[in-house]
Amino acid sequence: MTAAQRVLLCPVTMGLLLQSLFLLLLFLLGSCLHPAAAFPKGCYPSEEEGLKTFRCSNAQLTEVPRDIPNDTNKLYLDFNQIPFLPRDAFRDLPLLLELDLSHNAIARVESGAFQGLAEHLHSLDLSSNKLVSVSKDTFSNLKAEVNLSNNPWLCDCRLQELIRAVELAADSSGGIVCDSSTQEEHVGKAFLQVLADTDLCNVYKKTTDIAMLVTMFGWFAMVISYLVYYVRQNQEDARRHLEYLKSLPSKQRRSEESSTISTVV
């Protein structure tokens, strides 16, 4: 290569080098201003039918992830190993419309777990979990249709209050079956079928009233027994004292009687 050619190539090489450095600088600056979101493994955002969706299905999660975009409309946390829902678990998701928590290991839902979702949420799926008993206050002010099917429910007054406090998702009521019950004959039956024949809260109230009556009767019997014992004991003491007085000589007996009378006076 001649000297003239080297002189011509030098500005071109420098220009390319400066351009590369400029692009690298822009990339680094963009990375600092817009860092990549650190989503849990197996989770990813998408858009479905114009709604912002965040999917964590079958991601081996053991808790509700924290780094969920707060503009999410549909959240899928199904087929994981989440054991319970803490208070304010979804408080940073004010625009959430659908929440799928089915096929987890949820056995406990703390009061206030769905706090902040009352305005927009219209679908909540808790089917195929390990729910046995949940307070109706857990779903306070929630207008969403709730799927509670395929859980090992304890059929009692508490479940009756819960069912009457929420709006069940269509075709899900038949899946709410008594895994256990305060009455043995209800086990294995659909809960709504049980409610058609029995008011479990009324039965509970009657049982409580009977228990209170039995307790009150027991205390009353104890008081009467004590009074009877007290009266009989006094009568026995009086009888023994009279027999003692009769056994004394006449003068001593009169003296004892006088002493007794003076003491009484």
Residue 261 has pLDDT above 50, yes or no: no
How do the domains of the chain map onto residue ranges? 38-198, 199-235
The pLDDT tens digits of the residues spanning 147-199 come to 999 999 999 999 999 999 999 999 999 999 999 998 899 999 999 999 988 99
Superfamily name with CATH number, domain 38-198: Ribonuclease Inhibitor (3.80.10.10)
Measured CA to CA, the distance from residue 170 to residue 148 in angstroms comes to: 11
Distances (CA, A) of 67 to 27, 36, 56, 63: 24, 12, 12, 12
Measured CA to CA, the distance from residue 33 to residue 39 in angstroms comes to: 18
| More confident: 37 or 5 | 37
- Residue 259: Cβ-neighbour burial (10 angstroms; 0-12, 13-18, 19+): exposed
Residue 94: helix, strand or coil by DSSP?
A: coil
- 8-state DSSP, 109: E
Measured CA to CA, the distance from residue 114 to residue 238 in angstroms comes to: 74
Query: How many Å separate Cα 232 from the centre of its chain?
Result: 57
The pLDDT tens digits of the residues spanning 39-63 come to 888 999 999 999 999 999 999 999 9
Name every residue whose Cβ is closer than 8 Å to that of residue 80 and which is 6 or more positions away in sequence: 56, 57, 58, 59, 60, 61, 62, 103, 104
Q: What pLDDT band is residue 1 in, cutting at 50, 70 and 90?
A: low
